[in-house]
Structure 1
């Protein structure tokens, strides 16, 4: 039985909304699997395929490079795993835009010598929507085949 692929645009919209509502991801460098840490994604609805993170220059994420992030929404309806490349964000304008009291709580101000702002240039993503509706959940509870319906709630896409 072939899976049907979900509507990528619809699932991406749900993903971005869920990430904005709860911007916490597990982030890890591809070269250092297993060392994922919880990070707060700084989002900009006008950005094109980029998100930002604040960390310290002495943190293992400071080595930058290819990275993966995993995400679960507050209600566990949206799940995602996405990849990208971590690079240093050097724009003072971007730092000013993303800086807030929550970030400040972790650093000695915007000029902290150990402050590092990372930009994740996003690539491929896999997104799942676990809210498959009443009928599909009832079929699942009865042990009926729901693979076609589940496939409509999944996509592989570029962010």
Structure 2
């Protein structure tokens, strides 16, 4: 029972970081390797998925359709948390899906929810790895400076690393 409670707490923490960070780096595969780009996450915790609205002229849809495995990395420096997610991506060219996900934050990227180049990518999550550090950035900076000054190892406190299967 205790392990189940810890696992649920880790899952809740993972979704909390996704929701707080909002922007991640999405890595997709292409013929010459991997391509990484920043993307705004639209998480749906109840579905265990993250949606992304994007411009279909950016080649992400072609890359996802050839090899759907993607990697997402979130950094939330306010709490010194790093999150790496693996999942399978699916392209939706359904304008209704994109319209349903649209909010005013996307106005800077596309002309609106009826933009003909708007599409959605749905990522079904498989695995999460999270490094959750106890220190804020100011304390970490102080510890690194002290370590350099005195030639010692930085004391960053304990960092919890968890791996969670999400499917």
Name the TM-score, length of structure 1 as normaliser. Answer: 0.74
Structure 2 spans left out of the alignment, 5+ residues: 1-5
Of the structure 1 ranges 101-110 and 21-30, higher mean CA displacement relative to structure 2 is found in 101-110
Change (3 A) 1:85 1:104: same
Distance (Å, rounded) in 1 between the aligned partners of 2:73 and 2:83: 6
Please tell me whether the aligned partners of residues 15 and 78 of structure 1 are also in contact (alpha carbons under 8 angstroms). Answer: no
Decide which structure has greater helix share: 2
Matched, 1:104 2:107: yes
Q: Which residue of 1 aligns with 2:9?
A: 10
Please tell me whether the aligned partners of residues 51 and 120 of structure 2 are also in contact (alpha carbons under 8 angstroms). Answer: yes
Please tell me whether the aligned partners of residues 80 and 125 of structure 1 are also in contact (alpha carbons under 8 angstroms). Answer: yes
Matches for 1:1-159 after TM superposition, within 5 Å:
7-31=6-30, 33-46=33-46, 48-63=47-62, 64=64, 65-89=68-92, 94-131=97-134, 150=159, 153-159=160-166
Distance (Å, rounded) in 2 between the aligned partners of 1:33 and 1:42: 26
Please tell me whether the aligned partners of residues 11 and 154 of structure 1 are also in contact (alpha carbons under 8 angstroms). Answer: no
The alignment of Structure 1 onto Structure 2 pairs a total of residues equal to 144
Structure 1 spans left out of the alignment, 5+ residues: 1-6
RMSD: 3.1
Of the structure 1 ranges 100-109 and 16-25, higher mean CA displacement relative to structure 2 is found in 100-109
Please tell me whether the aligned partners of residues 14 and 78 of structure 1 are also in contact (alpha carbons under 8 angstroms). Answer: no
Distance (Å, rounded) in 2 between the aligned partners of 1:13 and 1:96: 28
RCO greater where, 1 or 2, for CA within 8 Å and sep 6 or more? 1
